[in-house]
C-alpha cells in the first residue's frame, strides 16, 4: 500500500479500510460500461439486479482536471446512483478517457503537481455526483492510441498516478467510512504490458478490466477472424485470445482475482468476403456499419440470410452470408456462458462488458447472470 505519514491512531482506523479496498471479491464482479453519450438514461433501462458495478463512460479532461463529457451526465448520474435503492450492493463508477479522450493523460500524470491537480478534481467530481469510484481508461500509456501525445516515461507516471489516487481514496475512506473503488481498463496486448508496470499497478487498483476484444477489426486486419475468442484457434496464425491475455497479465504480476474478463456486446462486420470456409480467415474489407451491436445482429442478420457457425477451438460464434459476402464476428449467449465458466474455474475477479446499449433485450446480460450463479451452465472446457 502507499506509504503515508499518519498518526498511529489514524493508521489503526485506516488499515481495515485499506485492506478492504484490495480484498478479493466474494462473488464475481459484473461490471457494465454505460455509454449513453448525450442521451438521457430512462427508468428501467439499466438492470440493477444483474450488475454489481456500472462504469459510466466517459468523463473528459480539460486543463488538467476531470470534467463531465456529455450534456446529460448529471441527470444520468442521478438515475444510476438511484439504482442503489433496488440493489444496495451496486456501485457506480465514472470512467475517464477512452479511445478518443485519452489525449491529456500523459500531461496529467507527468509531475507531482499535475497529478495533484487531477486527483483534486477527481475527488470533487466523486463527491458532487455521489459516485463510488473511478475507472481510468488511458488508451494507452506510452503508445499513441488514436493519435494522442505520449512519452517514454508514461508507464512509470501511470503507476504513480494510480498510487497517489489510491492514497487519496484511502484517506477519504478513513474519513467517510465509505469505500472508493479504483479500476483501470487495460489493453489486451503485449504492447500494453510492455509499456506499463502491471506488477506495481495491481497493488493500487481493485480490478483490471481486460479489454479482451477487438483483437482483429475490419480495415486494420486483411483477414477475417474472431475478434473476441476465448481460446486461440490454431488455424489463426495471429495467435491471440482472451485466455492468452489472461495468462500474460498473470505472468506480469496481476492476481487472477483482480482480473475481469472483458466481453463485447457487439460484432465486427467484414465485406467482400469469398464463400470459402464460411468466410472465416478470408480476405475482407471494411464496409459501412462495420460495428454491429448485438441487438442489430439478432434483429437484422440472424434468420435473414446469415448462417451461424461455431468455432469450437475458440469457443465463439460467427456469421456468414454467402450472397452478400459478409462475415460477422460477435458474442452470443453460448460464448458468454463459456467465458463465465472460464472465469469461475480460473478464479478470476469477474467479467466486464462494453457496452450496455448493445443488448437492449438483455439476453447477454441474462446469460452472464445465469452462468455466474452456483451451478450455472457453461460450455467452456478447462485448459
- As a whole number, the mean pLDDT across the chain is 93
pLDDT score of 12 more than 60: no
CA 373 to each of CA 302, 366, 370: distance values in angstroms, whole numbers, following the listed order: 28, 11, 5
pLDDT score of 144 more than 90: yes
Average pLDDT over residues 218-242: 96
Name the pLDDT band for 5 (thresholds 50, 70, 90).
very low
Average pLDDT over residues 175-199: 98
SS3 assignment, position 255? coil
pLDDT score of 245 more than 50: yes
Confirm whether 64 is domain-assigned.
yes
pLDDT score of 15 more than 70: no
| Residue 2 pLDDT | 40
Confirm whether 283 is domain-assigned.
no
Confirm whether 36 is domain-assigned.
yes
- Return the CATH number at 110: 3.20.20.80
Task: Tell me how many degrees the CA angle 164-170-175 measures, rounded to the nearest 5.
Answer: 130
| Residue 374 pLDDT | 81
Confirm whether 296 is domain-assigned.
no
| Residue 11 pLDDT | 36
Specify the pairing of strand 316-321 against strand 326-329: antiparallel
Average pLDDT over residues 244-250: 98
CA distance 129 to 122: 11
For the chain, what percent of residues have pLDDT higher than 90?
Answer: 90
Looking at the 3D structure of the chain, how many domains does it have?
Answer: 1
| Residue 18 pLDDT | 43
| Residue 326 pLDDT | 98
SS3 assignment, position 329? strand
Per the structure block, which three cell numbers stand in for 11?
A: 493508521
- Centre a 10 Å sphere on the Cβ of residue 93 and count the other Cβ atoms it contains: 24
Confirm whether 308 is domain-assigned.
no
Domain containing 367 equals: 8-264+331-371
CA 101 to each of CA 55, 57, 149: distance values in angstroms, whole numbers, following the listed order: 16, 11, 11
In this structure, of 92-96, 123-127, 262-266, 378-382, the range with the lowest mean pLDDT score is 378-382
pLDDT score of 17 more than 50: no
Q: Classify burial at 63, counting beta carbons within 10 Å of its beta carbon; exposed 0-12, middle 13-18, buried 19 or more.
A: exposed
Model pLDDT for residues 338-358, shown as the tens digit of each residue: 999 999 999 999 999 999 999
The set of catalytic residues is: 139
| Residue 376 pLDDT | 61
Of the candidates 368, 375, 374, the one whose C-alpha atom is nearest the C-alpha of residue 351 is: 368
Confirm whether 292 is domain-assigned.
no
In sequence order, what E strands does the chain have? 29-34, 53-62, 65-67, 91-97, 133-137, 181-187, 207-211, 259-264, 266-271, 285-293, 307-311, 316-321, 326-329, 350-354
Confirm whether 222 is domain-assigned.
yes
Confirm whether 271 is domain-assigned.
no
Name the pLDDT band for 253 (thresholds 50, 70, 90).
very high
Residues in the chain: 383
Average pLDDT over residues 283-307: 97
Amino acid at each position: 500500500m502507499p506509504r503515508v505519514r499518519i498518526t498511529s491512531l489514524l493508521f489503526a482506523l485506516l488499515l481495515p479500510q485499506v485492506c478492504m479496498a484490495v480484498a478479493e471479491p466474494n462473488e464475481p464482479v459484473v461490471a457494465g460500461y454505460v455509454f449513453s453519450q448525450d442521451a438521457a438514461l430512462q427508468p428501467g433501462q439499466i438492470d440493477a439486479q444483474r450488475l454489481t458495478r456500472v462504469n459510466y463512460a466517459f468523463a473528459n479532461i480539460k486543463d488538467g482536471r476531470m470534467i463531465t463529457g456529455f450534456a446529460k451526465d448529471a441527470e444520468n448520474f442521478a438515475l444510476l446512483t438511484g439504482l442503489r435503492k433496488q440493489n444496495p450492493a451496486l456501485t457506480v463508477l465514472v470512467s475517464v478517457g477512452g479511445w478518443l479522450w485519452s489525449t491529456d493523460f500523459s500531461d496529467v500524470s507527468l509531475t507531482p503537481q499535475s497529478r495533484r491537480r487531477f486527483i483534486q478534481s477527481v475527488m470533487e467530481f466523486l463527491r458532487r455526483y455521489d459516485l463510488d469510484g473511478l475507472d481510468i481508461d488511458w488508451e494507452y500509456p506510452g503508445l499513441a492510441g488514436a493519435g494522442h501525445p505520449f512519452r517514454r516515461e508514461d508507464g512509470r507516471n501511470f503507476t504513480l498516478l494510480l498510487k497517489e489516487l489510491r492514497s487519496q481514496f484511502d484517506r477519504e475512506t478513513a474519513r467517510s467510512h465509505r469505500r472508493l473503488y479504483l479500476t483501470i481498463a487495460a489493453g489486451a496486448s503485449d504492447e500494453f504490458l510492455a509499456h506499463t508496470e502491471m506488477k506495481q499497478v495491481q497493488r493500487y487498483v481493485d480490478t483490471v478490466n481486460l479489454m479482451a476484444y477487438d483483437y482483429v477489426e475490419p480495415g486494420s486486419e486483411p483477414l477475417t477472424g474472431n475478434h473476441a475468442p476465448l481460446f486461440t484457434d490454431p488455424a489463426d496464425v495471429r495467435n491471440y485470445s482472451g485466455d492468452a491475455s489472461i495468462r500474460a497479465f498473470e505472468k506480469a504480476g496481476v492476481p487472477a482475482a483482480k482480473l475481469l474478463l472483458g466481453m463485447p456486446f457487439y460484432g465486427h462486420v467484414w465485406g467482400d468476403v469469398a464463400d470459402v470456409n464460411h468466410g472465416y480467415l478470408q480476405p475482407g474489407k471494411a464496409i459501412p456499419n462495420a460495428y454491429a451491436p448485438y441487438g442489430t445482429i439478432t434483429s437484422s442478420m440472424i434468420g435473414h440470410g446469415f448462417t451461424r457457425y461455431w468455432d469450437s477451438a475458440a469457443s465463439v460464434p460467427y456469421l456468414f452470408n454467402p450472397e452478400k459476402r459478409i462475415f460477422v464476428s460477435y458474442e452470443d449467449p453460448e460464448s458468454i456462458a463459456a467465458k463465465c465458466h472460464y472465469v469461475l474455474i480460473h478464479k478470476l475477479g469477474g467479467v466486464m462488458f462494453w457496452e450496455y446499449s448493445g443488448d437492449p433485450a438483455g439476453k447477454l446480460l441474462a446469460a452472464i447472470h445465469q452462468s455466474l450463479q452456483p451451478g450455472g451452465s457453461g460450455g467452456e472446457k478447462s485448459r
